[in-house]
A and B are shown apart, each in its own frame.
Chain A
Amino acid sequence: QTVVTQEPSLTVSPGGTVTLTCASSTGAVTSDYYANWFQQKPGQAPRALIYSTSNKHSWTPARFSGSLLGGKAALTLSGVQPEDEAEYYCLLYYGSAQLGVFGGGTKLTVL
């Protein structure tokens, strides 16, 4: 069974920079995994931030960026705002199975 792993929790200070990562149990994540990133605040539906590794949606704030880092997909927040406190989920696409798998989520605390 394919497992996608994220940091369970991270803490960052306002104005700081933080990187969340997304790893695959099958090995290094590449652009072929078309990594997606979603933000979810309590009681709300998830909101899309990044698709296909590094592409932003029209509503994605400039401080969010996606990349590949050390064999993982990564989401970097630069100049973190208090409103960025949320749960962040990645999703990887496994082309051989045509399957998308969510990671377990990272709870980001801004403190």
Chain B
Amino acid sequence: QVQLQESGPGLVKPSETLSLTCTVSGGSISSYFWSWIRQPPGKGLEWIGYIYYSGSTYYSPSLKSRVTISVDTSKNQFSLKLNSVTAADTAVYYCARSHCSSTSCYRYAFDIWGQGTMVIVS
């Protein structure tokens, strides 16, 4: 079955760039939307943005100026870059896949999630 695994530094200094990669195993990255979602300690979920396997992206308006999501289909990976980070960006970062049926894709129906990776900005 399809599995997602986040990887990247667990500690980032303020004002620097947070960089994470999500590796997709057990299936192809093609024909799906792929998202990044975060959760500050003790708080709720926040959608960051998504990328289609072809490379088209859409970002949360609140983070749009600082976010870049990219895809590498040859490696079955997609990545997140968040620049100019502050302590408010400290969170568990999840990657997730959007659910697609035989006829439609539901961009925000995140059916498969990675285990999450904690990133501390300090």
Contacts and interface: CB of A to CB of B under 8 A. Distances in A.
Using C-beta atoms within 8 Å of the partner chain, give the interface range for chain B: 20 to 34
Most buried by B among A48, A57, A98, A105: A48
B44 A36 contact: no
A102 B47 contact: yes
A63 interface: no
Given A46-B45, A105-B44, A100 B107 contact: yes
Chain A interface residue bracket vs B: 20 to 34
A34 B108 CA distance: 9
A36 B114 contact: no
Chain A contact residues: helix, strand, loop or mixed: strand
A64 interface: no
A51 B44 contact: no
A79 interface: no
Nearest to A46: B113
Contact of B109 (A34, A47, A98): A34
Contacts of A103: 44
A100 B108 contact: yes
Interface in A75-111: 89, 91, 93, 97-105
A38 B101 CA distance: 18
Interface in B81-122: 94, 99, 106-116
A100 B33 CA distance: 13
A30 to B, nearest CB: 16
Contacts of A47: 113
Interface of B: 44-47, 58, 60-61, 94, 99, 106-116
Interface of A: 34, 36, 38, 45-48, 51-52, 57, 89, 91, 93, 97-105
